[in-house]
Structure 1
């Protein structure tokens, strides 16, 4: 998704990655040929041997990358729900415990958050749309669930690094970094260090937008009880935000933005979401996105974003 920022380079070498972290304290990179090259071959073997879902192999694949970069403290976000690999909390916990054990056995401070992806996180689905939402979050304008997850994750990492003595102290530090602008400034510095065009970070209106922005309206009234994350992810792909085949070209402007979240009261005719796309045949997608929203007569109990911390 960061590649939707013009010129942004995520294919750093290990040395470039380490040097940047030492220089500015932050870097985000993707998989490279130099980073655990055996993992790619092992994944190909898993694919043809029907072991893609093997938890020990998933754990070793994920943790090999974290350990290869030399991290002393590792925090993992293991998601469960309709929009995640694991559909149940139990599956996510099993993977988390395996990865935490691997890290701790190698004397690395390793923890994992079990987090909810049964409903979409935040309000944006898509490349540019999610980048813009992340920037707005760093500026203090993010959706509540995304802010909650990020602040808690930051707090845990601050305690792992012995910078904060308690989670509450860590949360206060994280929230203050948003309030005083230092969180946004650090992200901007990272984008600049990785050759990204920071003029897009400074002015989000510079990002291109899709030709068609289509409202999906409600045909009923009530309280939103659930939004199916998997359905929205699949339909965002059909709008152009993801690949159906490896040869497809991603449309960075495509995706879905939500106007409502679980617990919200909705009246008939209210906008549930907007589709962002450059395709013109979208009526079927409108219908499928509308069906992703489940209604109830009464407001349901709020589901926690973070279900458990494994350590």
Structure 2
């Protein structure tokens, strides 16, 4: 009996396991225009409610990959990629990629834009005047060969089925389905043609992934999908209950990344970046001992080689290196108002989602599709979880254009201050590697 699209939707609604050809029938049909939005939305909702087993997720990933071209990186050895599931203040790509390039490990990265309260790497990088993030294949290979790293926006010819499906997921309440997330992420990584991927899977209030259990399940699933396609993956489970580092906002995060590349130790951010880069070194095969790999990573951050790699990359993709040499030239908001503590004590929490949402409302992200980004605005923290604060001391600084004080009140409300001492948490929870 030949299944039709309605049969496939009904089967998944009943919780049945779908064969690969049934998944291809729906997804390929949607890309061709034979399956209408309402049927695809029904299928996505059935998957979100009923889930998928591992074979189904692999089949969906394969359909996504086969819907477009694969990028050819032949001639480059040990090329790695890094992917984050998103969060507030997550500027890790800006540090990890040049760090690895400085170590002679090529990095090819296709990045995305902000989603809701979580900022996007491309939006941040566009704070740098002249930087070109849309390159053809020949130029991508040329930049990778010249400086050892390339960061670009995703090609429209790479996994177009995922692009079409994701646009519908975003408006049907099915974004948080773990099988759909895993297939979406891994299809792009497989099609990108790299030799290994380090996954930064975040959990907590400021993460898109949710709680620790869900993050761990997602990371394990993605590692196993990679193994099924011959792509080695390591995953770092990291905490996003508070913003990563001190800043949330595009140019603000570029400045902070440059500080780390010049050797500054930024709480949370440096820890996560060093861990991600260490796992990438191990994945590449350049080093087999974790302690030696970690020391190599820290060495290129201390001695300026990582900063030099970042500067060379900006120049290679047409960016103005003057703002790299002097980050004060980056976009700056006309107002930078301090938010002070009303009580004395210890910071127990900094609500990452609240900070990210505030930055979004100030203009650092998009509340409407295709809206312009304000690269100058955002929030800089002065205190993090575990810090002692005295009444009247700064908690944060809001960089904005408004003539009203609501942003200051919203920033202050993101902090929870308690009378008893609080231990600073680690930003890295655990590292997962292939089981087979």
Which TM bucket (shorter chain)? over 0.9
CA 1:291–1:19: 2 relative to 1, 3 Å: same
Task: Say what the alpha-carbon RMSD is for the aligned residues.
Answer: 1.4
Q: Residue 372 of structure 2: which of 224, 249, 259 is its match?
A: 249
Tell me how far 1:49 sits from its aligned partner: 4.9
Q: Secondary structure at the match of 1:273?
A: strand
Equivalent residue for 1:158, pick from 281, 286, 291: 281
Cα 1:209–1:49, aligned 2, differ >3 Å: closer, same or farther?
closer
* 1:123 counterpart (243, 246, 262): 246
Aligned to 2:146: 23
Distance 2:329 2:279 in 1: 34
1:230 alignment counterpart? 353
* Structure 1 match to 2:128: 5
Which residue in the other structure is 1:101 paired with?
224
The alignment partner of 1:243 has SS state of coil
1:294 equivalent in alignment to 2:412: no
Secondary structure in 2 aligned to 1:29?
strand
* Conservation of the 8 A alpha-carbon contact between 2:350 and 2:415: yes
For the residue of structure 2 that corresponds to 1:308, the secondary structure is strand
Offset of residue 15 of structure 1: 4.1
Q: TM-score by structure 1 length? A: 0.95
Residues in 1 aligned to 2:209 and 2:278: alpha-carbon distance in whole angstroms: 25
Local SS of the residue matching 2:149: coil
Between the aligned partners of 2:394 and 2:137, the Cα distance in structure 1 is 46
**Counterpart of 2:426?**
304
Distance 2:340 2:411 in 1: 10
Q: What 5-or-longer segments of structure 1 have no aligned partner? A: none
Cα pair distance change 1:49/1:219, threshold 3 Å: closer
- The normalised TM-score by structure 2 is 0.69
SS at match of 1:144: coil
> 3-state SS of the aligned residue for 2:395?
strand
Q: For 1:185, what is the secondary structure of its paired residue?
A: helix
Contact 1:14 1:35 in 2 (8 A): no
Tell me what 1:267 maps to.
390
Q: Distance in 1 between matches of 2:179 and 2:141?
A: 28
Distance in 2 separating the partners of 1:222 and 1:13: 54
What residue is the counterpart of 1:284 in the other structure?
A: 406
Q: Distance in 2 between matches of 1:148 and 1:260?
A: 17
- Matched with 2:213 is 90
Q: Deviation at 1:254?
A: 0.2
Equivalent residues, number = 310
Using the alignment, how far apart are the partners of 2:131 and 2:262 within structure 1?
20
- Give the gaps of 5 or more residues in structure 2: 1-123
In structure 2, do the counterparts of structure 1 residues 3 and 302 end up closer, same or farther at CA, with 3 Å as the change threshold? same
